[in-house]
Amino acid sequence: MADVVVVGSANVDLVLPVQRIPRPGETVLASGLTRGPGGKGANQAVASARAGASTAFVAALGADDGGALLREALDGVDLSLVQTVDQPTGTAIITVDADGENAITVAPSANATLRLTPEARAALGEAKIVLSQLEIPFGTVQAAAEASRYFILNAAPAAELSDELLGHVDLLVVNETEAEAVAGAKLSALLDRVPAAVVTLGAEGAVILTRSADEVRVPAVRVEVVDTTAAGDTFCGVLAATLAATSTTASDLTNAVRRATVAASLSVQTAGAIPSVPHGDVIDARCAEVYL
């Protein structure tokens, strides 16, 4: 079975490059339109596989051209647990401004139907790492957490989370906005709810919080940003893959966050979601340069 199982969403991304993201009530003109594969779960599964982990994906796709597009894009990922449902494949509309920042609106569609099959539950129980996000039903996330040996939750999009769910989370990965939704403005308060957390801080890097060790800061890798789409997903997938290949101790978590940070910096230099996810050899070569 796979070392990493990702339970999550898969979307067709409609990407609109704009000079700036429109304000409420405003219309702006895009300089083009591209259609490609994406979705937090799909992005993270590809990132894990490209980073070197045997990776399976639990998701729901429609029996449409969007589903076919995603299946083809998920090369290297075990798709035997992907369900085909009587709903259109999920769609994300992504506006990307001249600085590479984005705004995303998602129509979940097939993603909203995702439930765990007995086969999926068995795969989760055998995996070293299970990774999930919040673009699928909370009940499915809860069930995945309960079935896992080591569960990473990327709590995105931002949402209030129950103690019942967080009680099964081994590692929480959030940005500052998502962290505030979980535990308020004080980052250290996350440890009142989960045993370990990684908070990504954009250009400021990331901070690692664990109950068993001191806070660790991992600096960002400075690059020219083209498109931030899937940077966080790349981070999460590479983090999961690296932990699966090493361990979940505090020292290995720090090294995994460093590798994930480098991978995210590589992803923002290329437009698109899945097309921007780097391969393991590229990540490791860049790590050797950054962490001499």
Which positions are catalytic? 233
Alpha-carbon gap, residue 61 to 231, rounded angstroms: 23
Alpha-carbon gap, residue 265 to 259, rounded angstroms: 10
Alpha-carbon gap, residue 266 to 136, rounded angstroms: 27
With a CB cutoff of 8 Å and minimum separation 6, the contacts of 53 are 2, 3, 4, 129, 240, 241, 244, 245
Token duo for residue 16: 């609109």
With a CB cutoff of 8 Å and minimum separation 6, the contacts of 17 are 30, 31, 32, 95, 96
36 DSSP 8-state letter? E
